[in-house]
Chain A
Amino acid sequence: MSKRRVVITGLGVVSPNGMNVSNFTTAIKNGTSGIRFIESLNKLNFSCQVAGYPIYNKEYLNNYFTDIELRGLNASGMEYGVIAGVDAWQHAGLSRNTSNTPLWDVGVIFGTGILGVDKFREAIYKVDDGKVRRLGSTTVTQTMASGISAFLGGMLGCGNIVTTNSSACSTGTEAILMAYNHITNNQAEIILAGSTSDSGPYVWGGFDAMRILPYKYNHSPTAASRPMSASASGFVPGSGAGALVIESLDSAQKRGATIYAEILGGHVNSGGQRNGGSMTAPNSEAVQRCIQKAIESAGIHADDIDAINGHLTATAMDPVEIYNWSTALGRKHEDFPYINSLKGMIGHCLAASGSIESVASVIQLKNDFVFGNSNCDDLHPKIASLINSERVPTKTINFSAKIMAKASFGFGDVNTCIIFKKY
């Protein structure tokens, strides 16, 4: 039995280098960095004092939230997720449900790692001060992980699945795959899928403490994130949100929607923290298997893949990731697909990375280009021994990829790989 076809009909993004799809497209094409020095991280004695975060005026939020929703709002991830989600909805030509009947075939799967950290901090101070009665009515809804899907589900009036997934840095890509599976299984027609990640020292501090962030670039922030380079020395923390409207082809055609790409399939798995895998490192066998199973699910061959948007965080693990792709695909040297990493421009947006990078993948497919890898003039020698350096473009190239693979890997030894096709 053939699977129901599923397509992407809307995109939304809140990225350190672009607050909407149009600005973001220009930014990734031009290699615009969204990584900046942050004075507060300096004051707080962080080793890594650079990070990526979206920039906008507070007034901008009036386009998305009511006055009452803005009162006491102190959850950056909620802001990013709502902006990206509502933008994707409008980009898809959909409007908010103003009737009293929920849209039974429309849902939201919007992931996050942790939500409303700043609100939670505010609450902790009040509780410790004996003032629990002064917390107000929104402490719960701003700090529950599913606050973001709940907010979007209510704004749009969705009556199908409304949930938040969480699988560390694999979260965003996993959300898209969950939406895809739900629709192929005839459970829904449209799902707003995406993910968001708070910004700030309370989110990034734990990573700084693990000594896995670069600390030599505090005076040259845009050079700090160096995926696949010999001089990569850790990932730069980022934040933001990405959102995609995932829809059955039937539904999209029926309403004459613009189709930005098709999802052919994907796979999600875990390495079980065995055989080299751990809480923080991937089991390579599982990564390879995830890629191969995704290809199988998509009904294509490894040779059909024209380009890859990797996870590639700019740690010492990048050469291992390339080895895993090369082994999984059975392709090396000049036969390897083009590969890039968005993290060179915006850092690692953690739970939001998979959705922002998937938006970037779809933009590349739709607009016939492969963006250049920032800060990768000195390709890591272990990578150069596996694949040709021209497969890692450092400048944006015009290239009409038909099929693009996107993978994300997360703490807990969890993996997601998804296959996008030009429509």
Chain B
Amino acid sequence: MTQNELLSKLKTIITPYVQNKEALENLTNETDFIKDLEINSANLVDVVLDVEDAFDIEIDNESMEEMLTVAASIKVIEEKLASK
């Protein structure tokens, strides 16, 4: 899976939770889920569960804590996919 494919898949997952739709349009690697996209912090748990389902991976607590930006999330997903 290319980085672009991964990014587009991630975007689809987070879209329903995003409150700032404008920031979603301008998604970059640095985009922060809570600060920029205004995702409710409680929903980060649901994002992670959706990621697990979409990529068929399991994300441990430590990795989950890192998943606050687009880049960090992609890094975690790639690592988990690689170790499958």
Contact = CB atoms under 8 A, between A and B. Distances in A.
| Chain B binds chain A | yes
Nearest to A72: B46
A1 interface: no
A137 interface: yes
B44 to A, nearest CB: 8
Given A137-B42, A137-B43, A67 B16 contact: yes
A301 interface: no
A136 B46 contact: yes
Interface string A65-88: 001100110000000000000000
Interface in A128-185: 134, 136-138
A137 B45 contact: yes
Contact of B17 (A68, A72, A134, A138): A68
Contacts of A134: 49
Nearest to A136: B46
Interface residues of A, number: 8
Interface string B3-47: 000000000000011000000000000000000000000110110
Nearest to B60: A133
Nearest to A66: B16
A136 B49 contact: yes
Q: Is the interface of B mostly helix, strand, loop or mixed?
A: helix
Question: Most chain-B Cβ atoms within 10 A of its Cβ — which of A67, A68, A71, A134?
Answer: A68
Secondary structure of the A contact surface, majority rule: loop
Contacts of B17: 68
A272 B32 CA distance: 57
A160 B17 CA distance: 28
Contacts of A71: 16, 46
B16 A136 contact: no
Nearest to A70: B16
Nearest to B42: A137
A136 B17 CA distance: 13
A138 B16 CA distance: 15
B33 to A, nearest CB: 14
A68 B45 contact: no
A67 B46 CA distance: 14
A205 to B, nearest CB: 30
Contacts of A138: 46
A68 B16 contact: yes
A61 to B, nearest CB: 15
B6 to A, nearest CB: 22
A264 to B, nearest CB: 43
Nearest to B39: A68
Contacts of B45: 136-137
Contacts of B49: 134, 136
B21 to A, nearest CB: 12
Contacts of A68: 16-17, 43
A138 B45 CA distance: 10
Contacts of A67: 16
A68 B46 CA distance: 10
A291 B42 CA distance: 47
A194 B46 CA distance: 31
Interface in B24-83: 42-43, 45-46, 49
Nearest to B64: A133
A134 B43 CA distance: 13
B24 to A, nearest CB: 14
A136 B16 CA distance: 15
A138 B46 CA distance: 9
Q: Which 8 A-B pairs have the closest CB atoms?
A: A137-B42, A137-B45, A137-B46, A68-B16, A67-B16, A136-B46, A137-B43, A68-B17
16 contacts: A67-B16, A68-B16, A68-B17, A68-B43, A71-B16, A71-B46, A72-B46, A134-B49, A136-B45, A136-B46, A136-B49, A137-B42, A137-B43, A137-B45, A137-B46, A138-B46
Interface of A: 67-68, 71-72, 134, 136-138
Given A72-B46, A137-B45, A138-B46, 7 more contacts: A67-B16, A68-B16, A68-B43, A71-B16, A134-B49, A136-B46, A136-B49
